Structure 1
C-alpha cells in the first residue's frame, strides 16, 4: 500500500510541478486535471504518512490481552483514525467531483462551443461545487457514525451495512455523471472532426486530442468502476466471512490440536489489495496528460542554464580588440 502511494504521489507531483512550470498550458477545459491530480497527491500523502508513523499510532483497532483482536464498531472514538478517514473520504469525493467537472467543461467546449475565457469566468463556481459539495456528504457520513475498523490495514472505513449508500452510491453517481458528459462531448468532437474533413482541412490535431481524451477517460473510469465493484463485493461477503470465522473459532476451542482461523475464503486478501491498488492507480495514470514532448521542452527550458546571446559575445570581443562595438 505504501509503495503504491509513493507511485501515486510522485506521478501527481510531477503533474503539479509541470503546471507550476508552464501554467498557461493548462487552460480550460483541461485545467480540472490539475485539481484532480492535487486530490490524489494529498490522498497518497495520507497513505505515506500512515506508513511512516506506523499502524499502531493511527489505527482504530485495539490489541487487548496479547494477540486478541477486538474490532471497533464506532471508529470515530479514535481521533487520529477519524482524521485520516475524513481526509480519505473527502479527497475521494472531491476527485470524483473534479472528474465530473472536467467532463462538463469538455462538454461545454465541444458541444456548446464555449471558449477557454468563458470557462475561466465560471471557474469560481466550479471550485465551489468541487470543494464544497463533498463537505456535505462527508459531514453526513460522519454524523451517521457508520465508520468501522478495517481488519487488514487497521484504518477506518464505512461499515459494510452502509457501504452501498455512503460509499458506492455517491461515487457511482459522480462517475456516471462524468461518463455521460464525456460521451456527449466525444460525440460532439466526432461531428466536428467530420465537418473539418468534409471541408478539406486536416484534422490531425483534433484526432490526436480525441485519442488523448479517450485514453485518459478509460484510465480513470475503469479503475474507479473496479474499485466500486470491489467495495460491493467485500460488503456482501464480509459479514458471512466473519460469522463463519467465529463459528470455526468456537468449534476449535472444543477440539484438541486445532489451529483457529477462518475456513471461508470468499472475502479474500486479493480483493482488498485490488481495492487499495485501484484507489491509488488513478493518481498514477492521471499524470499521462503531461506525458508529451511539450512537457520535455518546458522542463528542459527551465533546467538548462541560459546562454549568452551570440551577438553580445561578438560585440564584447570586438570591443576588446578595436575599442568599438560591432
Structure 2
C-alpha cells in the first residue's frame, strides 16, 4: 500500500519534503565543494583569493542542483510518506525514485568528495616529506592534517552508514512488501521483515552528519563572519 500525503495538507507535506531533501542535498554538495577547495589549496597550491574568485560558481552549484532535483521530484509527484519516521520524502514507496533521487546522488557526492580529500592528503604528505628533508619543523602542517583528518572521519563515516542503510532498504524492500501483502501465502522461512534498528541508525546518522559538521567548523572566524553579515544586513535595512 502506497502512502501519499493527505489531500487536506499537501502544502505542509511539500514544505517538509523541501526542508529535508533540498537542504540535505545542498549540504552534501557543500561538502564536495569543501573537499574541492581543500584539494585546490593543499594539492594545487591555490591561494585564498584564487579560490574566492570562484565562490559564485560554488554557490550556484550548491543551490541550483538541489533546486532542480527538488522541482523534478515535485513535477513527477514523487513525494511520499515514510511510514517509520512519519515524514514526507521521496523514494519511500518507489525504488526507482529512491535510487535516482536519493541513493545515486549521495553515492556520487560521497565518492567525489572523498577523492578530493584523499588527493589533498597525498599532496600534503609529499610537502611534509620535502619539508622534513630540509630540516624544517612540520608541527603546524601536521596539526592541519590531523584536523582535516578528524573532520573527514566525522563526515564520511556517518555518510557511508547512511548510504549503506539505503542500500539495505532498496535491496530488501520488495521482499518486505511481498511478505506484507501476502503473509498467509508464504512459508515462515520465506517471510522477510525490516530491521527497524537499521532505520533508526539511518535517521540518527542523518542528524549526526549535520551536528558534527556544524560543531567542527564553528570557530572565532565563523562568529566574525556572521557578525559582519548581520551588521551589513542591519545597516543596509536602515539605509
* TM-score normalised by structure 2 residue count: 0.81
1:203 maps onto 2:138 in alignment: yes
Q: SS of 2:182's equivalent?
A: helix
- Matches of residues 84-123 of structure 1 in structure 2 within 5 Å? 84-123=16-55
Check the 8 A contact 2:175/2:192 in 1, yes or no: no
Partner of 1:193: 128
Structure 1 window deviating more from structure 2 (102-111 vs 133-142): it is 133-142
Q: Deviations over 1:259-279 (max 9, x none)?
A: xxxx95531211110110111
Distance 1:272 1:289 in 2: 26
Partner of 1:280: 207
Structure 2 unaligned regions, length at least 5:
225-239
Structure 1 unaligned regions, length at least 5:
1-69, 252-262, 300-326
Partner of 2:234: none
Q: Which runs of 4+ in 1 moved over 6 A?
A: 74-77
Match for residue 240 of structure 1 among 156, 162, 175: 175
Q: How many positions carry a matched residue from both structures?
A: 214
Partner of 1:271: 198
Match for residue 3 of structure 2 among 72, 87, 93: 72
Partner of 1:43: none
Partner of 1:289: 216
Check the 8 A contact 2:3/2:81 in 1, yes or no: yes
Deviation of the 1:226 alpha carbon: 0.9
Q: Deviations over 1:67-98 (max 9, x none)?
A: xxx74246797221111111211111101100
Q: Deviations over 1:115-171 (max 9, x none)?
A: 112212221221111111211122122222222211122212222412111110011
- Matches of residues 129-148 of structure 1 in structure 2 within 5 Å? 129-148=61-80
Q: Which has the larger radius of gyration?
A: 1
Partner of 1:125: 57
Check the 8 A contact 1:74/1:145 in 2, yes or no: no
Q: SS of 2:137's equivalent?
A: coil
Higher relative contact order (CA 8 A, sep 6+): 1
* TM-score normalised by structure 1 residue count: 0.60
Distance 1:75 1:99 in 2: 35
Distance 1:288 1:184 in 2: 25
Q: Deviations over 1:5-61 (max 9, x none)?
A: xxxxxxxxxxxxxxxxxxxxxxxxxxxxxxxxxxxxxxxxxxxxxxxxxxxxxxxxx
Structure 1 window deviating more from structure 2 (188-197 vs 133-142): it is 133-142
